[in-house]
Amino acid sequence: MLKRLFAAGAVAALSLSACAPEAAEVSSAADAGEVNLFTARHYASDAAVYAAFTEETGIRVNVLEAPADQLIERMRAEGARSQADVVITVDAGRLWRADQAGLFQPAPELGDTLDAVPANLRHPDGHWFGFASRVRVVVFARDRVDASEITDFLDVADERWRGRLCVRSSNNVYNQSLLAGLIDAVGPEQAESWAAGIAANIARTPQGGDTDQIRAVAAGECDIAIVNHYYLARLQRTGDPADRAVAEAVDIAFPSLAGRGAPFNISGAGLAANAPNRDNALAFLAFLLTDQGQRQFAELTNEFPVVAGVAYDNDVLAGYPQITPDPVNVNRLGENATAAQRIFDRVGWP
């Protein structure tokens, strides 16, 4: 019995291992082919964007989803054999690292298309670009805090907030990029004392994700929390009454980062260095910046479009005040990531 299973298993394993995408049956001439995405985004709604792309171009989308660092390792190991056409990650720091590892190539064909993306949200040499953006914000308890108390992230390190702040672990890349931006704004020494202030202010050992920090504010465990904007937007748009109640107990502030503007970060994409389906990859990258693509990110994941003037249907985003973004090029966030990480280690932000 075991023997039979074993034999069957071995045969199955061997036959299946030959089923990599390139082993697909030879495509007919009318076939628009395929594009292979390596994506670190974990949003189920992205499938809708892919479907819209296939609808428009006939190009099939193959997806491999994994954490960014692992995708980078896999592309390194596969080298020239890599099947990846497009690499997508959230957080500019990751894009910077992938670029350092030589995993992107410039896409001159996209030239004019990329001009639609603000200059600070793309790689200086066009190796990658942001297609949606998010901002790190402060969520506060409506009944205990006034928005005027938090106009800048520097305020949050103030002694006034001792034991009143919730924020997730410094392992989290969003916090890393926030500090990386601050290092750029005020230099490493002042950034370190800011981080020490935050570590002193936290009401509880960091635990859970951004949504849990918002819940903690609503429950009175803390008065303010540092989170990404779309986590609150999601609670505001949910059908779950309990989550609605949480969203109603809090409000959102868009503090500036050392006076320079709100700390924006991106979901970004780039053309893989060894893309086997280069043309389809370019078509996909261009699609991300079309009105249709841009609109979907705003509606499905509550991220901001990067292309100005795109119409979308999202009451929550539409209700935000005018936000001035920090003009720093997000590529700097990657350059400062290691320094930020070590500052966290030294000040003991768990």
Partner 1 sequence: MAVIARLRQAYPVWPALIAAIACAAPLAAVAALAVSGEWSGYLAHLWSTRLPVYLINTLQVTLISGSLAVVLGSGLAWLVARYEFAGRSVFEWLLALPLAVPAYAAAYGWFDLTQAAGPLGMLPTVRGATGAGLVLGLTLYPYVYLLAREAFAGQSSDAYEAARTLGARPREAFLRAAMPMARPAIAAGLALVVMETLADFGAVAHLGAPTLTVGLIRAWAGEGATADAARLALILVAIAFLIFALERAQRARARQTSASGRRRPSRRIVLAPLRGLAAAALCLSPVLLGMVIPLGRLGYRALNAPVTRDLASAAQNAVLLAVIAGVLAAVLGLAAAYALRSGTRRGAVAARVAGLGYAVPGAVAAMGVLAILGLLQTWIDAAWTGLFGAVFPVMLTGGIAALIFAYLSRFAAAAIGPADSALSRVTPALDGAARTLGAGARETARRVHWPLIMQGALLAALLVFVEVLKELPATMILRPFNFDTLAVIAHNYASDERLGEAALPALLIAAVALPPMIWIARRIVRQEDGRENAVHAEAGR
Query: Which residues ranging from 209 to 238 are in contact with partner 1 (CB under 8 A)?
Result: 209-212, 215-216, 218-221, 231, 238
Compare residues 43 and 287 and give the one whose CB is closer to partner 1.
43
The tally of CA atoms less than 13 A away on the side-chain side of residue 151 is: 4
Compare residues 87 and 114 and give the one whose CB is closer to partner 1.
87
Who's near 112: CB < 8 A, 6+ residues apart? none
The interface with partner 1 within residues 110-149 (CB under 8 A) comprises none
Shortest distance, position 321 Cβ to partner 1, whole Å: 25
Positive/negative CA dihedral, 26, 31, 36, 39: negative
Q: Which one of the spans 1-9, 104-112, 116-124, 126-134 is the region binding partner 1 (CB under 8 A)?
A: 1-9
- Residue 303 touching partner 1 (CB under 8 A): no
- Cα angle 165, 305, 60 (rounded to 5 degrees) comes to 115
- Helix boundaries (H) for 137-272: 153-156, 173-186, 188-201, 210-219, 229-236, 241-249
Shortest distance, position 125 Cβ to partner 1, whole Å: 20
Query: Cβ distance 335 to 170 under 8 Å?
Result: no
Task: Please count the residues of this chain forming the interface with partner 1, following the rule CB under 8 A.
Answer: 73
The interface with partner 1 within residues 326-345 (CB under 8 A) comprises 337-338, 341-342, 345
Two tokens, residue 182:
């601050």
The interface with partner 1 within residues 17-56 (CB under 8 A) comprises 17-23, 36, 42-45, 47
Two tokens, residue 102:
């030589």
Shortest distance, position 265 Cβ to partner 1, whole Å: 15
Question: First CA to last CA across the chain, in angstroms?
Answer: 52
Q: Strand 264-272 vs strand 128-141: parallel, antiparallel, or unpaired?
A: antiparallel
**Could you say which of 49, 53, 59, 83 contacts partner 1 (CB under 8 A)?**
83
Name the one residue in this structure whose structure tokens are 């350092």: 100
Query: Cβ distance 150 to 314 under 8 Å?
Result: no
Compare residues 152 and 278 and give the one whose CB is closer to partner 1.
278
236-265 mask for partner 1 (x: CB under 8 A)?
--xxx-----x-------------------
- Residue 196 touching partner 1 (CB under 8 A): no
Shortest distance, position 108 Cβ to partner 1, whole Å: 27
- Residue 302 touching partner 1 (CB under 8 A): no
